[in-house]
């Protein structure tokens, strides 16, 4: 079953608060997503301050209830709502019922009737608000707010009319038809509406065009009288055409301004979203957020970032793009910041909470998770308009979403590291408990035999039991040393004691400490004719060689050939340990250096390796800034090679 999507319509009506709250309750009851839509019309430019404040309060209420605030524009509100419903898969619409009724059959349909026609497949919930609307209308006297043009616009209108009149007089002298002259005046009306704001100059230009045409272009000229009986109809049609032209031009200008606003908002949010996707730290997110708010409001931005459950010191991002700096300790609005942090609501200038503050403070939050507080200076306590508020909420929403994503990614990474550590610990415990059982049992059994049957055993048998106990103890000692070595090198507690050493001497010393079973194999060393002097920690590199040779002895049949070579390669010494044993399958080669990986290879003495030797070797080589590799030997077998830096001293000098 698809998820419900509820749309509530925002307006500046006093009853709209009740409608938004009802939609929030419905969204909670249906477990639905909630969208609060505001359709901006060209007439909103004349909205008074009281309606503007009420509209912004309704927007904030919708945001607090978890609604996504969406602003669109258009002259036909019902069409805009229906189109958004179609594109966004809205299933329910919540609107209020106003007191406007259809008085005649030719009257325009109400918003509710239009929505029922345009969106018949959507459930429409009508919240009664007639009394609130009537009370609002009764308390507000009918006022007419004409848009008075500026002096510049009046002079421009007069100039255009003068030019059109001169052109019309020229056309008249050239015996052009009156229709051509009328078209010139219509062009003048269109130009006037284009280069002036509002409807006043356009209507004035339409009216004066008719008067000028009558005064200068009709008989008797220089008089408002007209001889022709059809001229009144011509004047009426001309005035209607001019008035319609100016009205359409003004509407096109208003729509163009709204489209430019939407384009600016879309670009602003798109750029911010694109930049936030590249942000890797919360500091970058805060900086990008401040930059976008500066573009929108051209003011300094104060941001108090959050870390865990604490609010850090605030940083001011200057509007001129200079480097941010910490807020001075003398700032007296810390109580407002703490109130916003604790209550997760806006406060400060232009609000009812701490209205005397110099800044408007907003919370950066998603749901109940808050990521910081933003402070924006408000000049003369001026309330931001609906467009600015909508974009500001969208910017803060993008910021909180980016911070939420960073937090989730960090928690996911920490969980993955924790899971990996737990897995390593589990593998270690499992391997130790399983693989140490055989040598410990062997030591215990042999010791018990010697303890109770020492006198009845011959000398050769007792020597063999002592040898087995010693071998098992040595294996356990090597295991513990490998574990300690890996742990110390990884956490950095071991410091390399570097010195210049002859590679041939290190190999010879390492061969004295290899497994006693190496005597059953053929081991050869070839270091070339030139002595190699390498910079290394002699003890650790010998441990690498011992592990590699012991692995070759352990995993190859008796009588196999093991070869150790050392050659110079650029500024590194490459040491190789090769054998002609069965080799390692290709599918296992990528995992041989993993901790606790053994590949399932059987060992002659029934003890499995814990898979720590090669891991230790690779860790030691990396600590020397070298590389360790594995490749096949020809015709069969393995070659383990590693590099260490050559000494800067030349033995030939």
Considering only CA atoms, which of 125, 89, 95, 119 is closest in space to residue 10? 95
Residue 422 lies in a domain: no
The 10s digit of each residue's pLDDT in 328-360 is 877 778 889 889 998 888 888 888 888 888 899
Q: How far apart are CA 574 and CA 9, in angstroms?
A: 75
- The confidence score (pLDDT) of residue 332 equals 79
Q: Which of 247-256, 306-315, 449-458, 570-579 has the lowest mean pLDDT?
A: 247-256
Residue 186 CB partners (closer than 8 Å, separation 6+): 209, 238, 241, 242, 245
Q: How far apart are CA 69 and CA 398, in angstroms?
A: 13
State both tokens at 143: 């006022």
Q: How far apart are CA 337 and CA 320, in angstroms?
A: 24
Q: How far apart are CA 285 and CA 305, in angstroms?
A: 10
Q: Is pLDDT of 377 > 70?
A: yes
The whole-chain average pLDDT of the chain stands at 80
The 10s digit of each residue's pLDDT in 221-230 is 777 776 656 6
- The confidence score (pLDDT) of residue 198 equals 67
Q: How far apart are CA 204 and CA 246, in angstroms?
A: 10
Q: Is the omega angle on the peptide bond into residue 220 within 30 degrees of 0, that is, cis?
A: yes
Average pLDDT, stretch 128-157? Answer: 58
Q: Is pLDDT of 502 > 80?
A: yes
Report the number of distinct structural domains present in the chain: 5
pTM over 0.85: no
Residue 214 lies in a domain: yes
Q: Is pLDDT of 101 > 70?
A: no
Average pLDDT, stretch 312-341? Answer: 86
The 10s digit of each residue's pLDDT in 202-211 is 788 878 888 8
Residue 291 and residue 252 share a domain: no
Residue 74 lies in a domain: yes
Q: Where are the alpha helices (DSSP H) in 454-537?
A: 459-490, 503-511
Average pLDDT, stretch 530-542? Answer: 88
Residue 625 and residue 522 share a domain: yes
329: helix, strand or coil: coil
Residue 638 and residue 503 share a domain: yes
Is residue 364 left, alpha or beta, with left meaning phi > 0 and alpha meaning psi from -120 to 50?
Answer: beta
Q: Which of 2-11, 243-252, 272-281, 352-361 has the lowest mean pLDDT?
A: 243-252
Average pLDDT, stretch 450-472? Answer: 87
- The confidence score (pLDDT) of residue 431 equals 56
Q: How far apart are CA 92 and CA 7, in angstroms?
A: 6
Residue 473 and residue 532 share a domain: no
Using pLDDT thresholds of 50, 70 and 90, give the confidence band for residue 506.
very high
* Length in residues, the chain: 653
Q: Is pLDDT of 503 > 90?
A: yes
The strand ranges marked E within 570-627 are: 572-579
Tell me which of 221, 256, 291 is where a domain ends: 256
Residue 421 lies in a domain: no
- The confidence score (pLDDT) of residue 612 equals 59
Q: How far apart are CA 189 and CA 212, in angstroms?
A: 13
Q: Which helix (H) or strand (E) holds 68?
A: strand 68-73
Residue 132 lies in a domain: yes
Using pLDDT thresholds of 50, 70 and 90, give the confidence band for residue 142.
very low
Q: Is pLDDT of 136 > 50?
A: no
Tell me which of 395, 410, 425 is where a domain ends: 410
Q: Which helix (H) or strand (E) holds 125?
A: strand 123-128
Residue 601 and residue 463 share a domain: no
Q: How far apart are CA 521 and CA 552, in angstroms?
A: 9
471: helix, strand or coil: helix
Residue 391 CB partners (closer than 8 Å, separation 6+): 265, 268, 269, 296
The 10s digit of each residue's pLDDT in 386-408 is 777 778 888 888 888 888 888 88
Residue 494 lies in a domain: no
For residues 385 and 104, the model is more confident at: 385
Beta-bridge mates of residue 566: 575
Average pLDDT, stretch 278-298? Answer: 87
- The confidence score (pLDDT) of residue 231 equals 65
Residue 638 and residue 529 share a domain: yes
Q: How far apart are CA 343 and CA 490, in angstroms?
A: 46
Residue 296 and residue 391 share a domain: yes
Q: Is pLDDT of 594 > 60?
A: yes
For residue 382, what is the domain's CATH number? 3.30.450.40
The strand ranges marked E within 196-275 are: none
State both tokens at 528: 């070339």
Considering only CA atoms, which of 263, 268, 181 is closest in space to residue 217? 181
Average pLDDT, stretch 126-138? Answer: 54
Q: Is pLDDT of 103 > 60?
A: no
Residue 371 lies in a domain: yes
Domain, as residue range, for 476: 437-485
Cβ–Cβ < 8 Å for 55, 386: yes
Residue 130 and residue 12 share a domain: yes
Residue 175 and residue 133 share a domain: no
643: helix, strand or coil: strand
Instruction: Say which DSSP state 646 is in.
Output: B
State both tokens at 18: 């009740």
- The confidence score (pLDDT) of residue 490 equals 59
- The confidence score (pLDDT) of residue 208 equals 85
Using pLDDT thresholds of 50, 70 and 90, give the confidence band for residue 505.
very high
Residue 78 and residue 114 share a domain: yes
Residue 560 lies in a domain: yes
Residue 224 and residue 109 share a domain: no
Average pLDDT, stretch 250-275? Answer: 72
Residue 618 and residue 581 share a domain: yes
Average pLDDT, stretch 575-580? Answer: 94
**CB environment 43-63: b (16+ within 10 A), e (fewer):** ebeebeeebbebbbbbbbbbb
506: buried, middle or exposed (CB in 10 Å: 19+, 13-18, 0-12)?
buried
For residue 35, what is the domain's CATH number? 3.40.50.620
């Amino acid at each position: 079953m698809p998820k419900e999507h509820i749309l509530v319509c925002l307006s500046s009506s006093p009853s709209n608060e009740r409608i938004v709250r009802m939609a929030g309750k419905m969204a909670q009851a249906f477990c639905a997503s909630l969208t609060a839509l505001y359709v901006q019309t060209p007439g909103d430019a004349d909205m008074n301050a009281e309606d503007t404040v009420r509209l912004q309060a309704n927007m904030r209420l919708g945001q607090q209830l978890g609604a996504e605030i969406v602003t669109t524009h258009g002259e036909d509100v019902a069409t805009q709502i229906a189109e958004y419903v179609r594109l966004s898969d809205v299933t329910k619409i919540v609107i209020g019922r106003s007191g406007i009724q259809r008085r005649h059959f030719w009257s325009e349909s109400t918003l509710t009737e239009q929505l029922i026609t345009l969106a018949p497949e959507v459930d429409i919930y009508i919240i009664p608000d007639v009394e609130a609307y009537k009370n609002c209308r009764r308390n507000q006297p009918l006022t007419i707010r004409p848009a008075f043009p500026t002096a510049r616009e009046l002079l421009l209108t007069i100039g255009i009319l003068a030019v059109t009149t001169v052109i019309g007089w020229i056309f008249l002298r050239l015996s052009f038809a009156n229709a051509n002259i009328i078209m010139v005046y219509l062009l003048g009306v269109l130009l006037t509406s284009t280069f002036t704001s509002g409807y006043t100059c356009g209507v004035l230009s339409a009216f004066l065009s008719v008067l000028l045409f009558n005064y200068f272009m009709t008989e008797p000229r220089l008089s408002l009288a007209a001889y022709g009986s059809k001229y009144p109809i011509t004047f009426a049609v001309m005035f209607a055409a001019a008035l319609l032209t100016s009205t359409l031009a003004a509407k096109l200008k208003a729509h163009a301004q709204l489209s430019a606003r939407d384009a600016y908002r879309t670009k602003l949010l798109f750029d911010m979203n694109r930049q936030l996707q590249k942000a890797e730290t919360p500091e970058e997110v805060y900086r990008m957020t401040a930059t976008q708010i500066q573009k929108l409001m051209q003011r300094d931005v104060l941001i108090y970032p959050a870390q865990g459950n604490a609010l850090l010191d605030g940083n001011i991002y200057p509007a001129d793009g200079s480097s941010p700096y910490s807020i001075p300790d003398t700032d007296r609005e810390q109580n407002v910041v703490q109130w916003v942090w604790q209550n997760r609501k806006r406060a400060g200038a232009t609000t009812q909470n701490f209205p005397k503050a110099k800044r408007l403070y907003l919370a950066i939050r998603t749901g109940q998770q808050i990521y910081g507080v933003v402070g924006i200076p408000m000049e003369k306590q001026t309330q931001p308009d609906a467009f600015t508020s909508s974009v500001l909420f969208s910017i803060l929403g993008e910021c909180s979403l980016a911070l939420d994503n960073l937090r989730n990614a960090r928690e996911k990474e920490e969980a993955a590291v924790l899971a990996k550590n737990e897995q390593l610990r589990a593998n270690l415990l499992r391997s130790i408990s399983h693989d140490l059982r055989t040598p410990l049992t062997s030591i215990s059994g042999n010791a018990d035999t010697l303890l109770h049957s020492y006198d009845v055993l011959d000398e050769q048998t007792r020597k063999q039991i002592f040898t087995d106990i010693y071998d098992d103890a040595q294996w356990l000692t090597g295991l513990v040393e490998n574990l300690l070595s890996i742990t110390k090198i990884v956490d950095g507690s071991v410091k390399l004691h570097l010195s210049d050493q002859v590679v041939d001497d290190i190999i010879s010393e390492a061969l004295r400490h290899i497994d006693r079973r190496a005597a059953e194999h053929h081991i050869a060393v070839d270091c070339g004719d030139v002595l190699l002097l390498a910079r290394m920690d002699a003890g650790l590199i010998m441990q690498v060689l011992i592990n590699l040779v012991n692995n070759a002895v352990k995993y190859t049949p008796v009588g196999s050939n093991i070869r150790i070579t050392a050659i110079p390669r650029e500024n590194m010494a490459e040491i190789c340990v090769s054998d002609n044993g069965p080799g390692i399958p290709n599918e296992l080669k990528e995992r041989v250096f993993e901790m606790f990986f053994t590949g399932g290879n059987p060992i002659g003495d029934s003890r499995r390796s814990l898979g720590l030797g090669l891991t230790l070797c690779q860790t030691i080589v990396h600590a020397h800034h070298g590389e360790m590799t594995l490749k096949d030997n020809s015709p069969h077998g393995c070659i383990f090679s590693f590099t260490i830096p050559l000494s800067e001293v030349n033995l030939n000098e």
